[in-house]
A and B are shown apart, each in its own frame.
Chain A
Amino acid sequence: MELNILTICYLIGSITFILGLKMLSNPATARKGNLIAAGGMAIAIAGTIFLYKGPDGEGLHNYAWIFGGLAIGTIVGFLAAKKVKMTAMPEMVSLFNGMGGACAGLISIIEFGRVSSDLASGISLHGKLITIFLGVIIGSVSFAGSIIAWGKLNGRVKDFSFGGQQILNTIMLFIMVCIAGYLVFNITPSNAYLFYVILAGALVYGIMFVLPIGGADMPVVISLLNSFTGVAAACGGFLYGNKVMLTGGILVGAAGTLLTILMCKAMNRSLLNVLVGSFGGNKGGTVQQSASGGTYKEISVSDSAMVMAYANRVAIVPGYGLAVAQAQHVCHELEKLLDEKGVEVIYAIHPVAGRMPGHMNVLLAEADVSYDKLLEMEDANDLFKTTDVVLILGANDVVNPAAKNDPASPIYGMPILEVELAKNVIVNKRSMKPGYAGIENALFFQPKTSMLFGDAKSVLQQLVSEIKSL
């Protein structure tokens, strides 16, 4: 009877995951979808704790440990998720993803420990071993990779690459798979230690896999690692013949892979190009280009205020700098102020502005910016010709003309906001340092471009007070 109820719990779980994912892909139902999936998850977890029976008909033990772990995880997870700043959201997702990967890896490690005690008995363990090895490899790669991605996004880990790294990585993966394949058919108590070689290899591989990829591509990497963790979770499903783990894991694995490809498409690049042709890898080619810089001109806050207050249309291009400075509210204030003065204000949103697709929409929505003012790239590009002033707030690579006219540039081919079509371009940045892709931006040296240095928030505050006093 109890097992029948558990089956129903798992069925509900699986259905809510599918339903939740479906609703998450539509803005009107997204939030409800998330809650539905969370509800299904709670049912599946509660069912497992109270109703699960092993193959020998025994229930679970160690309840104190289980509830202790759940309590710690819930409190820490809840607080971390509630406290994290909007700007650090992408890092947080990466970190949580890493936790899931580590969890899948640990399950495989424990299961391996159990299996190795059965080795002498001579039962066929091939199927079990395959899933254990897959689980430990994928889970560890996902864990190590996510931690590196997290470190990169918050600036703790720098890009690092060396010649032949891709080849070395491939060889390493090949060796791991070979050892795993060998062990599946020839495992004995005396060579079981090789399992830990695989574990260590997978961790190193995860690090080496993400290290050379440029910080700007981290969203794509996180999405990819996300689908890896899904597959690792599904391996756990194989191991226990657990349908909810299997469906949930595979669903995320498939959806995550497609999402990764969609993200790459938004940047007009292929997944392979992101992973192999990493920015770090061809730095040599971009350095010489930076020498072609030149002179740029600065503009004062009061001059900027003047130009904007007497414009017909101002287009604001937000980027990561806006997010870092938490300047979305002041930005909205400036927009309202200009609006009162009869200036039409639009926001031009590049699909990958910020650190993640949709990052800017979320941020500006937080500041109550009306949605009809947020224009997608194509619509904004149509309007730039008739725009008087473009104010770029901490965006860089998404307005770099090199993406259009320099085939040697690593971002060549990425669709950009064509701000140089506007009459004036004011760029707010903290310094002349290149953006996340680490490349020089010719836009800054164009005659119609003026630089307005400073932290986005304080510059915007000054602009607001200047315009008020005009």
Chain B
Amino acid sequence: MEYILNLIRSNQEIIYIVILMIFLGIEVIGRVPSVLHTPLMSGANAIHGVVIIGAIIVMGEAHEIVAIILGFLAVILGTLNVVGGFVVTDRMLEMFKKKK
């Protein structure tokens, strides 16, 4: 018990961020029209591609060959997620632009 409480105290900053982000995430898309569900999902998909930053860090700190290969793969996959995600979303939204 003591241990868990300590863990919470030493990570309180992160716990605050997590809780606030959960509320923000829900609040921010609260009133989205159903027409935009697909582009919004696709946009959110691109944003979680932020995991690429973790991939770059592991890659950059890797020394052994196995870690390098896995890290390289992670960088490729993460980049695919980011670039592909944003481009696909843009293509979807391009068609909405004609709405005048």
Contacts and interface: CB of A to CB of B under 8 A. Distances in A.
B43 A107 contact: no
A81 B33 contact: no
Between A97, A127, A244, the greatest number of chain B beta carbons within 10 A of the residue's beta carbon is seen for: A97
A393 interface: no
B46 A38 contact: yes
Nearest to B74: A106
A21 interface: yes
B95 interface: yes
Contacts of B87: 77-78, 81-82
Q: Chain B interface: which size bin?
A: 35 or more
Contact of A70 (B45, B68, B79): B79
Between A99, A254, A255, the greatest number of chain B beta carbons within 10 A of the residue's beta carbon is seen for: A255
A243 B35 CA distance: 32
A233 B54 contact: yes
Contact of A357 (B7, B34, B44): B34
Contacts of A263: 37
Provide the main secondary structure of the chain A interface: helix
A109 interface: yes
A93 B78 contact: no
Interface in A27-70: 27, 30-31, 33-35, 37-38, 41, 44-45, 48-49, 52, 54, 59-63, 65-66, 68-70
A12 interface: no
Contacts of B53: 44-45, 48, 236, 242, 244-245
Contacts of A246: 14, 17-18, 21
B78 to A, nearest CB: 4
Interface pairs A-B: 8 shortest CB-CB = A73-B79, A60-B60, A254-B25, A69-B75, A236-B54, A77-B84, A77-B83, A81-B87
Interface of A: 13, 17-18, 20-22, 24-27, 30-31, 33-35, 37-38, 41, 44-45, 48-49, 52, 54, 59-63, 65-66, 68-70, 72-74, 76-78, 80-82, 84, 89-90, 92-93, 95-97, 99-100, 102-104, 106-107, 109-111, 113-114, 126-127, 219, 222-223, 226-227, 229-230, 232-234, 236-259, 262-263, 266, 351, 356-359, 361-362, 365-366, 368, 371, 376
Interface of B: 7, 11, 14, 17-18, 21-26, 28-64, 66-68, 70-99
Given A107-B55, A246-B14, 8 more contacts: A30-B36, A41-B49, A81-B88, A89-B88, A103-B52, A107-B58, A250-B25, A251-B25
